[in-house]
Amino acid sequence: MTQINPFLTIRQAVKTHYETYVYPQFPLLSSVRKCDTYALNLESLWARFNGEKLYLEDKRILLAGCGGFSPYPTAVANPNVKITALDISKANLQRAKFHTWLHFYFNVDFIESDLGDTPTVLGDDRFDFIDCHGVLHHIPNICSALKLIHSLLQEGAFVRIMIYSSCARKPVQSAANAMKIMKISDVNAIRALYKKTREGNRFKSCVDSSYESRFDWGLADLFLHPYAKTYPLNELLALLNEAHLEPLLFTHQGALSDVKAEIARLRMLETSRRLSTNFILFAGRTEDSGRRRKWQEEKIKNDTLISLNPVIKKSLPLLPFLSLKPSSKLGFENPSIDAKGRFLLSKFKKPLRKSAIDPVQLATVEKYLQALFLIETAS
């Protein structure tokens, strides 16, 4: 008797889900502001974690589960980087490809495949940055997936992960389980149920709190996904450790810049059942912890170089007389770039020694460094 592989069954169900509900499905002509892609710029992220410029000619980014949109903003942030967009859904890839090409970005290779198949489809390719946003909680064998990600990272490279929090996601998971019990399997039935609910109902509050619930694809992802597992913080940290990965920076809303302090804060919020955000973080190979520690020590002791994030550098001249405020991407409210800020940032079009900065302006420079508008390197 032939045994059915449960992993393959789930994989096919997930694929079918995204063939039916492309995620996300923004209008093809909708665009992103260049300045809002600043936190996807490889050169700036590499400097943040390694304290050095990335001089490789063959720079590479992997979008491991790209969905129907992320290749476009990633290409905006990195027009000269080779980007590989991987997704299990052909419909997702087609949408992402049209969106990227319609905005005249052609540095992305689109591959229909699962993360588990990367040894076959990617061969010996290694990447400087892997973005795996909102994917791992849809994979049953998450530990194997994280180990695969580790194997695809070159020395000094990092991965960005978004994964569902058991505490924050509990209302959605409860509603999704209720849908299965009631055998609700399409978004029209969900909308009909929503219309019948009263104010204060937990399901209604759950829908109202999500921007994506305005769209069929958003409702389907919230309540109809065939496999969505959630994780408490300690389990996530244990999984990362088993895959020889360590957190470098948490970037969900309200995250603290110090990793240990943020882990302590998250544990406290989980214990009190007040955690309301999913986990978003950058992680790096534990083998590279020595080089990262060395950079942190150098940053304190030595005179570093400060320069502009390339995306911000290109964005400054676009609206010369208006304040510029890139959307928050690192977990905190960004500072506005007003006329005075533009003048200050323009000084860093060419790298400037930190020791040469006017002490009066140093506090503002530190804010721009934290926001990744400026980048700091050893040389």
Asked whether residue 51 falls in the same domain as residue 94, the answer is yes
Asked whether residue 143 carries a pLDDT value surpassing 80, the answer given is: yes
Contact 218, 212 (CB under 8 A): yes
| DSSP string for 216-280 | HHHHHHHH--S----B-HHHHHHHHHHTTEEEEEE-STT--SSHHHHHHHHHHHHHTT---S-EE
Task: Please state, in angstroms and rounded to a whole number, the distance separating the CA atoms of residues 74 and 41.
Answer: 8
Task: Please state, in angstroms and rounded to a whole number, the distance separating the CA atoms of residues 127 and 301.
Answer: 31
pLDDT of residue 2: 54
Asked whether residue 188 falls in the same domain as residue 201, the answer is yes
Asked whether residue 54 falls in the same domain as residue 153, the answer is yes
Q: Which helix (H) or strand (E) holds 340?
A: helix 339-346
| DSSP string for 191-213 | HHHHHHPPTT-HHHHHHHT-GGG
Amino acid present at 56? L
Asked whether residue 25 falls in the same domain as residue 77, the answer is yes
Task: Please state, in angstroms and rounded to a whole number, the distance separating the CA atoms of residues 273 and 7.
Answer: 31
| Eight-state DSSP code of residue 160 | E
pLDDT of residue 64: 98
Residue 123 domain flag: yes
Asked whether residue 207 falls in the same domain as residue 343, the answer is no
State the number of CA atoms in the 13 A half-sphere of 315 facing the CB.
25
The pLDDT tens digits for 271-290 are: 999 999 999 999 999 999 99
Residue 1 domain flag: no
Nearest to 91 by CA among 14, 35, 162, 38: 14
Asked whether residue 118 falls in the same domain as residue 184, the answer is no
Asked whether residue 284 falls in the same domain as residue 248, the answer is yes
Among the candidates 251, 273, 295, a domain finishes at 295
Q: Average of pLDDT values for 223-228?
A: 97
Residue 239 domain flag: yes
Q: How many domains in the chain?
A: 3
Percent of the chain with pLDDT over 90: 92
Asked whether residue 255 falls in the same domain as residue 315, the answer is no
Asked whether residue 160 falls in the same domain as residue 199, the answer is no
Among the candidates 271, 295, 319, a domain finishes at 295
Residue 98 domain flag: yes
pLDDT of residue 115: 92
pLDDT of residue 317: 84
Among the candidates 268, 295, 322, a domain finishes at 295
CA 30 centroid distance within chain: 20
Task: Please state, in angstroms and rounded to a whole number, the distance separating the CA atoms of residues 271 and 166.
Answer: 12
Please, which pLDDT band fits residue 3 given cuts at 50, 70 and 90? Answer: low
pTM for this predicted structure: 0.96
| Eight-state DSSP code of residue 346 | H
Asked whether residue 85 falls in the same domain as residue 138, the answer is yes
192: domain range?
170-223
Which two structure tokens, joined as six digits, stand for 249? 């920076």
279-285 and 108-112 beta bridge pairing: unpaired
Residue 349 domain flag: yes
Residue 234 domain flag: yes
Residue 356 domain flag: yes
Task: Reply yes or no: is the peptide bond before residue 335 cis, omega within 30 of 0.
Answer: no
CATH number of the domain within which 100 lies: 3.40.50.150
Asked whether residue 209 falls in the same domain as residue 107, the answer is no
Task: Please state, in angstroms and rounded to a whole number, the distance separating the CA atoms of residues 284 and 107.
Answer: 25
Task: Please state, in angstroms and rounded to a whole number, the distance separating the CA atoms of residues 86 and 178.
Answer: 32
The pLDDT tens digits for 152-162 are: 999 999 999 99
Asked whether residue 208 falls in the same domain as residue 253, the answer is no
Amino acid present at 216? D
* Burial readout 129-139 (b: 16 or more C-beta within 10 A, e: otherwise): bbbbbbbbbbb
Residue 131 domain flag: yes
Percent of the chain with pLDDT over 70: 98
The pLDDT tens digits for 52-91 are: 999 878 899 999 999 999 999 999 999 999 999 999 999 9
What is the overall mean pLDDT for the chain? 95
